[in-house]
């Protein structure tokens, strides 16, 4: 039996581990990023950095936030004197690699999961910094403000339409030709941009349902797949390794 071919749509600079896992599990990875991430030094980020000493908490929701801060303000992270909350193992590990102690990481790797932990701990009247992408959902900052906290939002990177949409178009042709066995999505924008590249969204949705196993990282991404009526699955723990384990379990089952 030939190796299962798995399409990976996450940003190129975040896809290495996913590709390695696919190959380790006996598959072949095809990378076609439907999202590009670009660190940016915005006015809001400058403001957050200037208010560093006022922070009770800072929240890192992705590794790209840390990359951006290190790029534009290399002394910022090492001089932080506040508590740190993160979403996801990868973000937590990178924060620790940068010398930080993670004080809070929810088991549910979503904004909702983190917000629930803040509620459980009764965290209120705190100043909380959240550097992230401007396209992120408002769930976390709004929820923290409802708890009585002051939130300083900062745009640390941009989530962009793929610079190389030809690769995505090539992927769609491969799907039409039955050259792909499964496809993975790791954020709502990876799904939205994938469909944005296509001239016929209904046809693309039918292709995914008829020809592929569609696996996403968790329930937030799943909502977008539901919008397009795509049959899909996701793991109980919202990580790339768990997503890939589930994918190969289904393919080999």
Look at the chain and report how many structural domains it folds into.
Answer: 2
Asked whether residue 63 falls in the same domain as residue 132, the answer is yes
pLDDT, tens digit, for every residue of 8-61? 999 998 899 999 999 999 999 999 999 999 999 999 999 999 999 999 999 999
- Nearest alpha carbon to residue 218 among 195, 246, 193, 197: 246
Task: Note the pLDDT tens digit of each residue in 62-107.
Answer: 999 999 999 999 999 999 999 999 999 999 999 999 999 999 999 9
**Residue 113 vs residues 12, 85, 140, 152, 248: alpha-carbon distances, Å:** 27, 11, 9, 20, 27
Neighbours of 24 (CB within 10 A): 11
pLDDT average, residue stretch 133-142: 94
Q: Same structural domain for residues 64 and 144?
A: yes
Task: Say if residue 55 is in the same domain as residue 128.
Answer: yes
Pick from 67, 66, 125, 58: which is nearest to 85 by CA? 58
CA-to-CA distance for 242 and 224, rounded, in angstroms? 20
Q: Same structural domain for residues 155 and 169? A: no
The CATH number given to whatever domain includes residue 146 is 3.40.50.10090
Residue 2's pLDDT is 83
Clarify whether residues 42 and 139 are in a common domain: yes
Is the pLDDT assigned to residue 1 strictly greater than 60? no
The pLDDT of residue 51 is: 97
- Residue 12 Cα to chain centre, angstroms: 13
Arithmetic mean of pLDDT, 210-227: 97
- Residue 189 lies in domain: 5-35+162-252
Give the ranges where the chain is alpha helix by DSSP (H).
Answer: 16-24, 43-50, 63-72, 89-97, 111-120, 139-146, 165-176, 188-197, 201-211, 219-227, 240-252
Is residue 106 domain-shared with residue 152, that is, in the same domain?
A: yes
Q: Which two tokens stand for residue 78?
A: 């090492």
Last residue of a domain, one of 131, 160, 189: 160
> Are both 138 and 63 inside the same structural domain?
yes
- Do 147 and 59 lie in a common domain? yes
Distance (Å, whole) CA 45 – CA 129: 10
Q: What confidence tens digit (pLDDT) does each residue in 110-131 have?
A: 999 999 999 999 999 999 999 9
pLDDT tens for 162-211 read 888 999 999 999 999 999 999 999 999 999 999 999 999 999 999 999 99
Please, which pLDDT band fits residue 3 given cuts at 50, 70 and 90? Answer: very high
Q: Give residue 83's pLDDT.
A: 98
Q: What is the pLDDT of residue 253?
A: 79
Q: Are residues 56 and 88 in the same domain?
A: yes
Domain boundary among the residues 144, 160, 176 is at 160
Distance in angstroms (rounded) separating the CA atoms of residues 199 and 1: 34
Query: How would DSSP label each residue in 44-109?
Result: HHHHHHHTGGG-SEEEE-SHHHHHHHHHH-TTTGGG--SEEEESSHHHHHHHHHTTPPP-B--SS-
- Assess whether 172 and 102 both reside in one domain: no
Same domain, 154 and 174: no
Task: Say if pTM beats, i.e. exceeds, 0.85.
Answer: yes
Are 139 and 237 members of one domain? no
Where among 104, 136, 160 does a domain terminate? 160
- Helix (H) or strand (E) run with residue 6 in it: strand 5-8
pLDDT at 156: 98
């Amino acid at each position: 039996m030939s190796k299962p071919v798995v399409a990976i749509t996450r940003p190129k600079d975040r896809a290495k581990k996913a590709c390695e896992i696919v190959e380790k599990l006996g598959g072949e990875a095809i990378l076609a990023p439907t999202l590009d991430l670009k660190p940016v030094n915005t006015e809001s980020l400058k403001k957050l950095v200037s208010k560093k000493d006022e922070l009770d908490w800072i929240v890192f929701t992705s590794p790209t936030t840390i990359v951006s801060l290190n790029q534009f303000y290399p002394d910022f992270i090492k001089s932080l004197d506040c508590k740190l909350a993160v979403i996801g193992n990868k973000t937590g590990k990178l924060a620790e690699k940068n010398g930080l102690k993670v004080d809070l990481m929810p088991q549910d790797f979503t904004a909702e999961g983190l917000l629930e932990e803040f509620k459980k701990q009764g965290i209120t009247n705190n100043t909380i910094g959240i550097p992230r992408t401007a396209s992120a959902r408002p769930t976390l900052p709004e929820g923290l403000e409802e708890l009585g906290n002051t939130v300083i939002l900062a745009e640390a990177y941009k989530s962009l339409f793929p610079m190389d949409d030809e690769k995505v178009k090539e992927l769609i042709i491969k799907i039409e030709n039955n050259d792909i066995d499964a496809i993975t999505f790791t954020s709502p924008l990876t799904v939205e941009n994938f469909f944005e590249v296509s001239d016929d969204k209904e046809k693309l949705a039918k292709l995914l349902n008829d020809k592929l196993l569609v696996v996403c990282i968790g329930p937030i991404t799943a909502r977008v797949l539901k919008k397009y009526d795509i049959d899909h699955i996701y793991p109980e723990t919202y990580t790339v390794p768990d997503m890939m384990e589930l994918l190969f379990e289904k393919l080999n089952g």
